[in-house]
Amino acid sequence: MLNSSRDWKLWFAAPAVLFWMQSAQASEKPPTLEVKASVSETLQFLASPKVKSEVKDATQNFDQVNSVATLETTQAAPGMEQVTSVSQFSDVRPTDWAFQALQSLVERYGCIAGYPAPEGISSAARTYRGNRALTRFEFAAGLNACLDRINELIAAATADLVKKEDLATLQKLQEQFAAELATIRGRVDALEARTTTLERQQFSTTTKLFGNAYFNITNASAGGDVLFEGVPGSPADARFAGARTAAGTPIASVAPDPQTTLSFLTWLTLSTSFTGRDNLVTQLAAGNGISPYNQYASAGFYNASGVPFTDQTGGTVNGRSDIVIRDLFYSFPLNDAIKVTVGPRINWYRHFDGNRFLNIFAAGASFDTSNSTQSNTIDRGSGAVVEIQLSRQFRLALGYLGENTEFLPSQFGFNTSSNPRFGLFGGTNTASAELTFSPSDNFNLRLQYNYSRIQAYGGQVGGAIGEPIPYGYLDAGTPGSSVLLPGGGITDGGLRYAYANMFGVNFDWLVTPGFGLFGRYSFANTRLNPVNGRVDTQSFQVGAAFPDLGKKGAQATIAFVMPMDITRGRRFFASGAGDGGTQYELEASYFFPISDKIAIVPTFYAIFNPNNFDSNPTVYVGNIRTQFSF
């Protein structure tokens, strides 16, 4: 039976009658107003060859049977309401040729709805729009609705309102449109069967699966020898500490040239909702990438400059495709303006420091440009994030996370939030605040602050949890700190932990639909315990984007980056300070969607003064990424 939840707009006897059925009316007794035309006369009139001929003449393709699927998905006009008197129609006059038929169906059977009145007319008034045309399927659906209404009247012990002649005429009409009614029933039965099959075979009633797969072909080369700081002879994926000579000078060595690599990275995301507004996210990751530029990188620069973001390993052993849990958190709204996210492994970058033109899913961003190089100490952590939509123009995000990063091995003391030795508040952690100002849909300005406690390992602070330094390793800077021993070991660096304050600004501006600008600037100070040393650093990036260049959904991007500039405390760097130079980077990429599920992203990087050595030659990196989304 048709009802208001299906929102069917039904026109009957074009242009005489519009049917709108509401099942809730079944228990209501329709008004028994005296009218000149009986229902029997009305139905006989509608079934007459004259009316059918006039409708056919007024309606194109009258004999053509339209798609039932189209009929079923037709939505009722907003604001349509039941009327109880034909006088409520502001556009119907007693002189209209179908007035008596319409009056009978409105006031006697109560199965007519009206459109909202035009602006300037009382809200209680309705319009009928009787000049609209009618399809045969619409007529069949209306007839079926009328039959349902009569059954309701009979069930409500009001059968005396329905005459035998009326039923005979309706039966005749039902037989005439039997084919159309059978088609509708067949389509509904088929839809119900398909729905039952889908429900039986679906993965989950609450969970959806999303996937991303990335293939990376990458090459890096330089015009001469590139110096890196760290333990001499250490491979690219095992430069976990800076080393000094007995005199306290950071040790530099010539890096071997890398070969071209082909690697992969996959993310599988399970998104579960229990209420329709909440979201439990479980993301699995696996990959095997050791990007070629890492061969040139100093200790503490791994997966930084010149490394495409998706050219990485998901797990704790670089190059080994272990499956790890990358994200695990639960988000829910407190109200329409506040959303809370809690969990043991929250992805900080889902909530802070975004930029419309540097989205890793739709650009060739490296680790240096996908976010500020100085944010954040923690990639993933345990805790909570609260996002508040203060107004249409202002958004505030607040968060606290204890370090729990999937690619850092807990056996070496990482994942401090789940380690009872440190706990949620005693190891590496960060408190973040970001205020976003969006005066229009085309412009966003973000002001950011991070306060971090960074745990030392082997007496050194830095590496993957080194932001906002952001790269290299710091020690106490005193004689005997981080000295390389004959057997290859390193003495303790002398630090227990560090505190850091980072301030940043980030903007994106869509100047025109095909051109945009973006930029970031950050500065930070890091205090070293127990020597009370201080290190100050800054960074910036600027660039331009060209959305939809060449194809809808494509984007060309060019960015210039200074990943770190040491303005104070260079002596505390056991690795990363170089010879006093400042590294810069140029990136250019083109995201080209082959389809909505497949894209190719060629990217070029040029790294000037690598590892902060003015004497180092420029390193060039080329990458072609193919990505699949499902």
CATH number at residue 239: 2.40.160.10
- Alpha-carbon distance 329 to 260, whole Å? 37
pLDDT confidence of residue 48: 55
Residues 6+ apart with CB under 8 A from 298: 228, 229, 230, 239, 242, 471, 472, 575, 576, 578, 611
Angle between helices 164-176 and 178-201 (to 10 degrees): 70
Amino acid in position 541: Q
- Taken as a whole, the chain contains a residue count of 630
Q: State which of 201, 223, 256 marks the end of a domain.
A: 201
Looking at the fold, whether 211 and 196 belong to one and the same domain comes out as no
**Structure tokens given for 93:** 């006059």
Contact 621, 306 (CB under 8 A): yes
Contact 8, 113 (CB under 8 A): no
Looking at the fold, whether 103 and 218 belong to one and the same domain comes out as no
**Structure tokens given for 530:** 């127990």
pLDDT confidence of residue 30: 39
CA 535, 539, 543 angle in degrees (round to 5)?
175
Looking at the fold, whether 160 and 287 belong to one and the same domain comes out as no
Q: Where are the beta strands (DSSP E) in 138-178?
A: none
Looking at the fold, whether 87 and 177 belong to one and the same domain comes out as yes
Phi-psi label, residue 475: left if phi above 0, alpha if psi -120 to 50, beta otherwise: beta
**Structure tokens given for 318:** 């670089």
pLDDT confidence of residue 481: 97
Looking at the fold, whether 371 and 500 belong to one and the same domain comes out as yes
- Alpha-carbon distance 501 to 504, whole Å? 10
Run of H or E including 162: none
**Structure tokens given for 450:** 């991070």
b/e map 43-60, b = 16+ CB within 10 Å: bbbbeeeebbeebeeebe
Determine the number of helices (DSSP H) and then strands (DSSP E) in the chain.
Answer: 8, 26
CA 378, 381, 382 angle in degrees (round to 5)?
150
**Structure tokens given for 116:** 């909202």
* Closest C-alpha among 129, 86, 80, 81 to residue 107: 86
pTM of the entire predicted model: 0.71
Residues 6+ apart with CB under 8 A from 216: 261, 262, 263, 264, 265, 289, 291, 308, 310, 311, 623, 624, 625
pLDDT confidence of residue 28: 37
* Closest C-alpha among 188, 171, 176 to residue 8: 188
Count Cβ atoms below 10 Å from residue 173 Cβ, excluding itself. 18
In the predicted model, residues of the chain with pLDDT beneath 50 are 1-39, 51-52, 54-77
pLDDT confidence of residue 172: 86
pLDDT confidence of residue 173: 85
Q: State which of 158, 180, 201 marks the end of a domain.
A: 201
Residue 577 structural domain: 207-629
Looking at the fold, whether 138 and 276 belong to one and the same domain comes out as no
Q: State which of 170, 186, 201 marks the end of a domain.
A: 201
Count the domains in the chain: 2
pLDDT confidence of residue 247: 95
Looking at the fold, whether 190 and 293 belong to one and the same domain comes out as no
Looking at the fold, whether 161 and 186 belong to one and the same domain comes out as yes
Count Cβ atoms below 10 Å from residue 79 Cβ, excluding itself. 12
Looking at the fold, whether 381 and 238 belong to one and the same domain comes out as yes
Looking at the fold, whether 168 and 312 belong to one and the same domain comes out as no
Looking at the fold, whether 436 and 555 belong to one and the same domain comes out as yes
Looking at the fold, whether 559 and 484 belong to one and the same domain comes out as yes
b/e map 330-344, b = 16+ CB within 10 Å: bbbeeeeeebebebb
